[in-house]
Every structure is written in C-alpha cells, then in structure tokens.
Amino acid sequence: MQAFEYIRAEDVASAVALVSGDPKAHYLAGGTTQVDLMLKDGVLEPERLVDITRLPLRGISRDGDVLRVGALATMEELAADVTVAERLPFIREALLASASTQLRNMATIGGNILQRTRCRYFRDPAVAACNKRAPGSGCAAVSGAARMHAILGASEHCIALHASDLCVALVALDAVAQIQGAGAQRSVPLTGFFIVPGDRPDVENVLRHGELLTAIDIRLLPPGTRSGYLKVRDRASYEFALASAAVALTINDGVIAHARVALGGVGTIPWRAPEAEAVLRGAPVGAQVFRAAADAAVHDSFTVPGTAFKVELAKRTLVRILETVTEGSA
C-alpha cells in the first residue's frame, strides 16, 4: 500500500487542475471502489488523491423533461428523488437492487459509472495475467473461475464485467455525461462513453486523465411508459447480477410503439441492445416477439465454460421483464 498525498479540493477548477497536471493523481469520491482498490487490493497506486466529495456537484434538479443529476449525488439520494420515483421508476429499482444501504450512502452516481470491474483476477496483483491491469499480459479469467464475468463485448483478451445496475437503466435512457476538463467542457452520451475492451481492456471509457464527470442528464420517460428492471443473482439481496435487464416500452393498442432495452450482468460495458429494440418496435406484445428480441439481444456472445449458462439466462431475464411490464396491456 503506497503512501499518498491527500488534498481536499475547494472547487471544481482546482480539482481538475490538481489531477490533470499530475499523471499519478486520482480523484476520490465515495471511495467504495477507489479505497478498496488502493488500500486493500493494491491495484491502484496514486501518489496524490484529490478528494472531491465536498464540491458542489451533489444536487438533483429538473429542467423541463431533463433531470440533471450531480455526479456526487449518492445512490441513496437519487433513489429517494421524487421525479425519479414518478418518471424514471426503473432507475430507482436498479439503485435499490444494488449493493447495501451503507454502500449506497457512500457511493456516488459518478463513481457508479466509473466503478472498476469486480473481476478477481484484475483485483489480485498476484495474478500475472490481466490485460486490464497489465496490458499485454493475457487474461487469467478466460481459463479461470468465470461465473461473474461477461459474455457480450467480451473476447479472449478480457471478459471482465461492468457490474453496475444503475448504468443498465442509464444507457437504456440515452443519459448524457457532462464532463469538465482542464480546458473545456464536453457532453458525451453514455452509449458512447464506455469502450468495449477489444485488445485494449485497460481503456474503459472516453475520459482523458484529469477530466471530471460533473453531472448526468437523463431525459424523463413519457407518461404512460412501462418500465422495469429485473436482476437475477445468486442471493436474494446484496449480490451482483448474473444477468439483468432494463426495459422501457410504450404500447398502443397491443402494439409496441417504442422500446428501450439494455442488459446487465453480461456485458464488459453496460449493454444497450438495439437489435432487440428493432425486433420489438412495431411488433405486437407477445411471447414469440419477446423471445425473438431476446435472441437478437444476445446473438453475438463470447463464452467460456464458466459463463456459457449466461446466454440462456440473459434471454430468459429479458423475456421475464418484458412479460412483467406488458402485463395487462393487450
């Protein structure tokens, strides 16, 4: 465990300057990933830690049909928001299915998006082969214990899972990340924010060193939208997903007018499934359509013996939540 300099940032500009100008500086928010990987696992070794938890990036505000969520809002705070409960209920469902209350009181929305994988091979520096931790070293997980790993966006280079529940709903909603750099601000849709590992699993998203996630903008679902989040896991609570699905549908006279679909527990990134949406759009509500959508969502999977079961599990998870949200719509 390497010693580090601790600095509490006073404002956004100085925080960004402190990290941008120092390749060995990291941000610290809720700490549930950063402190774990730094002090306990020895995977992250910053020389400078810039604590951003007291920056004014915590508010949740509504502007018309867009909800702006400060990156430092906690998971519990977002779950308790009235607009979320009324207009984005599956965000609340995904949040409350995550972690524990203690962790949700600490973990921030920005940190949830930027959380690192739970892959045990990544988190154990004693394991030599990890392309994410040590580029070019190989992947121990593809021939290891891989029950909690990804099948979509995966390859022999890396099968590390992005374990967020919240992000599954966020990518389904086309949420947009607001980013502050040393020079400029920019906006990036979350569907383009995460980067599929390919042969560079160490590159996880579009952020450049020092860029700070300041807020997430979420467009509210139109009234009447049927949405839901289903998480399938080894325990009834306090466990990561084996498979999960977030869906939002609008239905007119038994026909699906619009569909948003994303999968969790199976992707190297939070997995939007446009192929499934294309199957659903314009189709009648029904079991055959749901199964066809599920087949389309998972058609291009990469499995190892430990993850092979997830192909069928992910399909059934998606079918189940589609059945649940469309109940009584025909």
Partner 1 sequence: MSPMSETTRGASTEVNVTLRVNGSARRLRLDSRVTLLDALRDVLELTGTKKGCDQGACGACTVLADGKRVLSCLTLAAQCDGREVTTIEGLSRDGGLHPVQDAFIRHDGFQCGFCTPGQIMSAVALLAEGRAGSEEEIREFMSGNICRCGAYPNIVAAIRDAAGRDAGV
CB of 289 to partner 1, least distance (A): 33
**Contacting partner 1 (CB under 8 A), which of 12, 103, 188, 255?**
103
**Contacting partner 1 (CB under 8 A), which of 19, 99, 319, 321?**
99
Contacts 24+ apart (CB under 8 A), 42-45: 42/1, 42/125, 43/116, 43/122, 43/123, 43/125, 43/133, 45/2
Q: Is 6 an interacting residue with respect to partner 1 (CB under 8 A)?
A: yes
Q: Is 82 an interacting residue with respect to partner 1 (CB under 8 A)?
A: no
CB 313 within 8 A of CB 243: yes
Per DSSP, the residues of 16-51 read HHHHHT-TTEEEESS-TTHHIIIIIS-----SEEEE
Q: 110 vs 197, which CB is nearer to partner 1?
A: 110
Say which DSSP state 152 is in. B
Q: Is 28 an interacting residue with respect to partner 1 (CB under 8 A)?
A: yes
**Contacting partner 1 (CB under 8 A), which of 12, 20, 31, 258?**
31
Q: Sign (positive/negative) of CA torsion 287, 292, 296, 298?
A: positive
Stretch that binds partner 1, among 93-101, 134-142, 148-156, 211-219 (CB under 8 A): 93-101
CB of 136 to partner 1, least distance (A): 26
CB 268 within 8 A of CB 153: yes
Q: 36 vs 295, which CB is nearer to partner 1?
A: 36
Interactions with partner 1, residue window 34-53 (CB under 8 A): 35-36, 39-40, 47-49, 51, 53
CB of 291 to partner 1, least distance (A): 31
Stretch that binds partner 1, among 24-32, 174-182, 223-231, 286-294 (CB under 8 A): 24-32
Q: Is 240 an interacting residue with respect to partner 1 (CB under 8 A)?
A: no
Say which DSSP state 53 is in. T
Q: Is 14 an interacting residue with respect to partner 1 (CB under 8 A)?
A: no
Q: 99 vs 142, which CB is nearer to partner 1?
A: 99
Please report which helix (H) or strand (E) contains residue 124, including its range. Answer: none
Q: Is 121 an interacting residue with respect to partner 1 (CB under 8 A)?
A: no
Q: 105 vs 252, which CB is nearer to partner 1?
A: 105
Q: Count residues near partner 1 (CB under 8 A).
A: 29
Say which DSSP state 93 is in. H
How far CA 17 is from CA of 183, 195, 212, 216, in Å, comes to 9, 25, 10, 21
**Contacting partner 1 (CB under 8 A), which of 5, 10, 156, 199?**
5
Q: Is 234 an interacting residue with respect to partner 1 (CB under 8 A)?
A: no
At residue 156, the 3 state secondary structure works out as: coil
Interactions with partner 1, residue window 256-275 (CB under 8 A): none
Q: 118 vs 281, which CB is nearer to partner 1?
A: 118
CB of 18 to partner 1, least distance (A): 12
Per DSSP, the residues of 243-305 read EEEEEEEEEETTEEEEEEEEEESSBSS-EE-HHHHHHHTTPBSSHHHHHHHHHHHTTT----T
Q: 48 vs 209, which CB is nearer to partner 1?
A: 48
CB of 99 to partner 1, least distance (A): 7
Q: Is 106 an interacting residue with respect to partner 1 (CB under 8 A)?
A: yes
Per DSSP, the residues of 203-260 read --BSPPTT-EEEEEEEEPPPTT-EEEEEEE-SSSSS---SEEEEEEEEEETTEEEEEE
Contacts of 110 (CB under 8 A, 6+ apart): 29, 57, 71, 72, 213, 214, 216
> Which positions lie near partner 1, rule CB under 8 A?
1, 3-6, 8, 28, 31-32, 35-36, 39-40, 47-49, 51, 53, 76, 99-103, 105-106, 236-238
